[in-house]
Structure 1
């Protein structure tokens, strides 16, 4: 289940996180910066949310978990959007270069857009399925947010890697 919580682009500012005292995106950024060779960036997903839950009064309550998870979700969503914009611009430039030399290759920008739209539908369906495991209980909210956070972070990391390939 996605509720396992032990687990840069747009950076949240202090005003973005003011309502959740223990949330600090620097925790995730630091984790990514000091990874060992045996770690993957995936191991840093949830680091800031976990820190938030551990250091915020009521952080392990349903409401506290939801706030902390949502703050990290917003952090990863900003990174995802920044990376997507960069990759989309790169792919549009490649498409233009290919058209200029008379290539009939399929559009990379269009393929990226279709992939991202399909990924959003997949993420949403996956997280709805995760929520269904909670039978309408209060844990469903944090579980759904955790799922969205984790999957959004993975997609952000995927797109960031694509942005530096070229």
Structure 2
């Protein structure tokens, strides 16, 4: 019997495997940020000064929960789950950066009215974030290289981006501030 497997997509979220005897439709895992979100909320509650490091244990919780669902343990499923949590942390990072930027602009304006020659906080923030992006990308490229072209490189790279982005988001949110 001649069986051919054809892989393609049928709309968002579906992976279709067509066999000579019929079609099997596999749904991608559904990502929910609930596990990470509730962990971060608990970390805030237990460390109101944002000084605790337990919040770092929250990173990857939702992706791990997603990978435990049907189809979450495939390479494609892992990437869907990791990308879902990366989006969660990217949104937090974007919001925290915007808040820090507004604060920096206000502080710079106040310093200018005082005639201060201090370095611009806004420019320092932007330079720090740009350097962090370069670091994150280089770090995750190195992580990917460890897989020597294997299929684990994709999920490993996404996991690296997720972890680095989460740490930066938490830092900009004020965790571990002096």
Do Structure 1 and Structure 2 share a fold, with TM-score over 0.5? yes
Which among 31, 37, 59 is matched to residue 29 of structure 1? 37
Residues 27-66 of structure 1 aligned to structure 2 (within 5 Å): 27-35=35-43, 40-55=54-69, 57-66=70-79
Q: 1:99 to 1:39 in 2, by over 3 A?
A: closer
Q: Which has the larger radius of gyration?
A: 2
TM-score normalised by structure 2 residue count: 0.77
Mapped contact 2:147–2:153 kept (Cα < 8 A): yes
TM-aligned CA deviation for residue 114 of structure 1: 0.2
Mapped contact 2:35–2:61 kept (Cα < 8 A): yes
The number of residues matched between the two structures is 146
RMSD after superposition? 2.1
In structure 2, distance between residues paired with 1:20 and 1:78 = 22
Q: Which consecutive unaligned segments of at least 5 residues does structure 1 have?
A: 1-16
Q: Secondary structure at the match of 2:117?
A: coil
TM-aligned CA deviation for residue 20 of structure 1: 5.3
In structure 2, distance between residues paired with 1:158 and 1:92 = 19
Mapped contact 2:29–2:67 kept (Cα < 8 A): no
Q: Which moved more, 1:147-156 or 1:32-41?
A: 32-41
Partner of 2:145: 132
In structure 1, distance between residues paired with 2:137 and 2:94 = 17
Greater share of residues in strand: 2
Partner of 1:8: none
Partner of 1:160: 173
In structure 2, distance between residues paired with 1:100 and 1:80 = 30
TM-aligned CA deviation for residue 34 of structure 1: 2.0
Deviations 1:79-103 (A, max 9, x none): 0000000000000100000000100
Q: Which consecutive unaligned segments of at least 5 residues does structure 2 have?
A: 1-12, 14-26
Greater share of residues in helix: 1
Mapped contact 1:20–1:52 kept (Cα < 8 A): no
